Structure 1
């Protein structure tokens, strides 16, 4: 029976059916074949219960915050601030791309959205100043993976909801890994820059630096409020999202005066549409997980893995290998929703910290955006930056290699991930 369902699942994927529909159809077929049609009566209730989690409310709020910040001129000021600070170094515009992505991570929290936006903003500028277009596209794509690591992060919210792990702890756990990835990418750029003799921009005057610093303070209030609020325990991740929306609205309307209230309906529609896509996936994954539990697949997997090894280190290595392959084939959020319910019993059995595991699994699946054959980030940036797919793959390869090396360090040195959560008693 299990093999039939697995066959149906992969057949539907190969037919190009959206993953949410694949999950729902597979579950219904399983109940019918298994003679458990009575379970179909309670399926709608099961779907609804999958959304009864306060943490999921953070998703539309953070999406709305991103819409307001983009329309309110906050995004452009963050990019300009990064350019004024470090644009004059050799290869400075490439550094700006990385630093700007770190700033924007607090706005979008989505690697795909960030890669699409930055491809339009930074790639033409870098090409204009003498960088190869494929290199500009590759650094834009690679640095976009920082978005789901630095808080706030939608993928952390979903993992926390599925695994009953503190979303605040996950947010704080992502800070050091996000900074490490940013610094490592900058180091790679400097090495490549020495070989290719990267250009540099003119140094900004002290007056320009001063003005840019003043203008960016309101923009920085938003990520600072989110992070500090969660760190100090003043409010939860969901509450921080609501407060961040309010601050973004005030900054865009009254300080930068670029936010047009006539665009508010469009922003709300975009937020609702994007939220509906994610929540539809979650409810379908909830009934799919119900089917998996009915088949006792998590328990069978636990027994199988424990018969091979009881070492958490070996298990994490196996998980990394499996997730990297899955990330190449499935969307990160979809893979997360499918795999977390299956893997959490193993995480518990092997006494692995769920916060540490959450950061590892989320980074793993995000790296899938960079890797062929179906890395969605590759297709998005290739299209937006008008770079041939094969040239982009070749150019991004050094960043893929260094990303995997960093992932191994984060996997086997848990203190890099857990230092801040432990410091705060989370």
Structure 2
């Protein structure tokens, strides 16, 4: 994630205007909308926990399931997704590709930021009327169980589009001065006029127009820093509006469909769980136990980091939460032992790749939602590929730390270790509780997150006694923001994938991939390379939503087990996500480790080489992914 930069000239302009009564009123209204939106989004997160948690308890404990719970949860979820997207846009937390503009001179980047935000506003403006038409269509029907108007779902989309449009205009006024805004407006207006004029010609181009809309527009807008979700929407809306006779109202409908899959409700709930385990002390207790057991060995703390990432990943499901929970607890002592900060950050980055397939990975949940592969099978199949990655990294750690001085490392007696084991047991029990609940059928992959949340809150209150109630509301807001950023990408990618399918691109892709030399092995190797590239550019969630429905059927035709293919895809995308210079995950690890990317990039290659070997093993040996199914 990256935040919106603030242009000095734009900030000065806003600051000088702030003295006028009109500006003060606008700022008051802006703060009011922000507070109300964040409050409602936070309450929706809490409401989802209550609805799904009570439904699970009613079904399992009292054998009296709520027939309306899934329908209500889905309705609340679409509102959470769109309002979370609004919050994310206000905070500048939507996913962006910053590799090309990160080192650009501030005054030049300000111009690109203005164009990018103007494009965001233009896309949202073009969706206002289609979103209203989508609302009118839904408003004519009733929900199956609750028998309330389906218009409530459509109202979420139109509300989100309007609020994001207002936010985009406000962000534009904040980051750009009037000259930059005027030039950006003229550029966007001129491009729209050209597309309108040449619309019939573009439509007659056939599938060649895909290059214009889904390569030039999408890739070009991402390169200048436009958030990925809006870049997808730019290409999709442009394609539908200027290259087809299909009404643009189909786009909000496809976004609604993509964002409201009930299985995706696991995303905000596991994001919330990841934040709670850090606050409740579970992660700290597990790390302390690992330090006591092997921290005194050469490379001991590096092994602790790898083990902690494996354990924490199995709980939080979010890479940022994983690294933020582990790094601050270990890095200070590791630096005292003479480890170089660049090497530590590269190991942290590599450990995040290693743990990509550990359940309940958000990417695994997304794979299941868009491809129909069993979530329980994905959760089971993801454990051993991560072990392969961890062993590969352990070899690198062993070779790099043979000369480490551990004479001053604290040593723990068996009595101390036993005490720390007792303290860590509740935290170690959480992955067991989550996995058992899914495997034994107590709860679905979506509902099990509520069990984990209740478990974590109780352990934090009753056992560790460090549950800070003052942090709950900010955590709920942050959960809504991160979830909205992810889910808007899912919705936009769903609409884009539908447009590509309508164009006939999916059939062409099937023929191309089926013709790869080498049969099944050749297909797997090409797929791994493709997912590494996709992961470095799009990140896991948008890449899998966009290409999963296209490539998984081809894998089935080639005789590839879908769980094996899922592990290959997820591990390869993680490899791309944390590989410089384009992988944004690598820069996230640098930010958490507080190390310059220029320093860390010199140390990352041995770890990436080990992970590349692990990826080859996962690709070529299906048993690694399917042996425990």
Q: TM-score, normalised by structure 1?
A: 0.94
- Residue 235 (structure 2) aligned to one of 26, 36, 51: 26
Q: Distance between the aligned counterparts of 2:565 and 2:340, measured in 1?
A: 38
- Residue 16 (structure 1) aligned to one of 222, 225, 243: 225
Q: Secondary structure at the match of 1:394?
A: coil
Q: Does 1:97 align with 2:97?
A: no
Q: Does 1:173 align with 2:393?
A: no
- Residue 305 (structure 1) aligned to one of 513, 532, 537: 513
Task: Report if the CA contact (8 A) 1:145-1:366 is conserved.
Answer: yes
Q: Which stretch of the first structure deviates more once superposed, 7-16 or 107-116? A: 107-116
Task: Report if the CA contact (8 A) 1:27-1:291 is conserved.
Answer: yes
Task: Report if the CA contact (8 A) 1:148-1:154 is conserved.
Answer: no
- Distance change (3 Å), C-alpha of 1:198 and 1:97: farther
Higher relative contact order (CA 8 A, sep 6+): 1
Q: Which stretch of the first structure deviates more once superposed, 336-345 or 114-123? A: 114-123
Q: Does 1:197 align with 2:411?
A: no
Q: Which stretch of the first structure deviates more once superposed, 238-247 or 137-146? A: 137-146
Task: Give 1:359-374 correspondences, 5 Å limit.
Answer: 359-374=567-582
Which residues of structure 1 form unaligned runs of 5+? 422-426
- Distance change (3 Å), C-alpha of 1:2 and 1:183: same
Task: Give 1:69-108 correspondences, 5 Å limit.
Answer: 69-108=277-316
Q: Secondary structure at the match of 2:513?
A: helix
Task: Report if the CA contact (8 A) 2:255-2:494 is conserved.
Answer: yes
Task: Give 1:139-158 correspondences, 5 Å limit.
Answer: 139-158=347-366
Which ranges of 4 or more aligned residues in structure 1 deviate by more than 6 Å? none
Q: Secondary structure at the match of 1:148?
A: coil
Task: Report if the CA contact (8 A) 1:104-1:147 is conserved.
Answer: no
How far 1:417 moved relative to its partner? 0.6
How far 1:171 moved relative to its partner? 0.8
Q: Which stretch of the first structure deviates more once superposed, 284-293 or 374-383? A: 374-383
Q: Distance between the aligned counterparts of 1:171 and 1:255, measured in 2?
A: 28
Q: Does 1:288 align with 2:488?
A: no
Q: Does 1:395 align with 2:603?
A: yes
Aligned counterpart, 2:564: 356
Task: Report if the CA contact (8 A) 2:537-2:577 is conserved.
Answer: no
Task: Give 1:14-413 correspondences, 5 Å limit.
Answer: 14-38=223-247, 40-194=248-402, 196-199=403-406, 201-309=409-517, 311-413=519-621
Q: Distance between the aligned counterparts of 1:185 and 1:259, measured in 2?
A: 34
Aligned counterpart, 2:155: none
How far 1:198 moved relative to its partner? 4.7
Task: Report if the CA contact (8 A) 2:552-2:565 is conserved.
Answer: no
- Distance change (3 Å), C-alpha of 1:331 and 1:118: same
Which residues of structure 2 form unaligned runs of 5+? 1-208
Task: Report if the CA contact (8 A) 2:516-2:523 is conserved.
Answer: no
Aligned residues: 419
How far 1:385 moved relative to its partner? 2.6
Q: Distance between the aligned counterparts of 1:385 and 1:269, measured in 2?
A: 24
Q: Secondary structure at the match of 1:282?
A: helix
Q: Secondary structure at the match of 1:24?
A: helix
Q: Distance between the aligned counterparts of 1:256 and 1:383, measured in 2?
A: 29
How far 1:141 moved relative to its partner? 1.7
Q: Secondary structure at the match of 2:306?
A: helix
1:148-205: CA deviation from partner (whole Å, max 9, x where unpaired): 21111111001111111111111110111112222222222112112x4353622201
Aligned counterpart, 1:424: none
Task: Report if the CA contact (8 A) 1:66-1:107 is conserved.
Answer: yes
Larger radius of gyration: 2
Q: Which stretch of the first structure deviates more once superposed, 176-185 or 15-24? A: 176-185
Q: TM-score, normalised by structure 2?
A: 0.64
Q: Distance between the aligned counterparts of 1:37 and 1:290, measured in 2?
A: 12
Q: Which stretch of the first structure deviates more once superposed, 324-333 or 71-80? A: 324-333
Q: Which stretch of the first structure deviates more once superposed, 351-360 or 40-49? A: 40-49
Q: Secondary structure at the match of 2:577?
A: coil
Q: Distance between the aligned counterparts of 1:303 and 1:12, measured in 2?
A: 29
How far 1:242 moved relative to its partner? 1.3
Q: Secondary structure at the match of 2:592?
A: helix
Task: Report if the CA contact (8 A) 1:370-1:376 is conserved.
Answer: yes
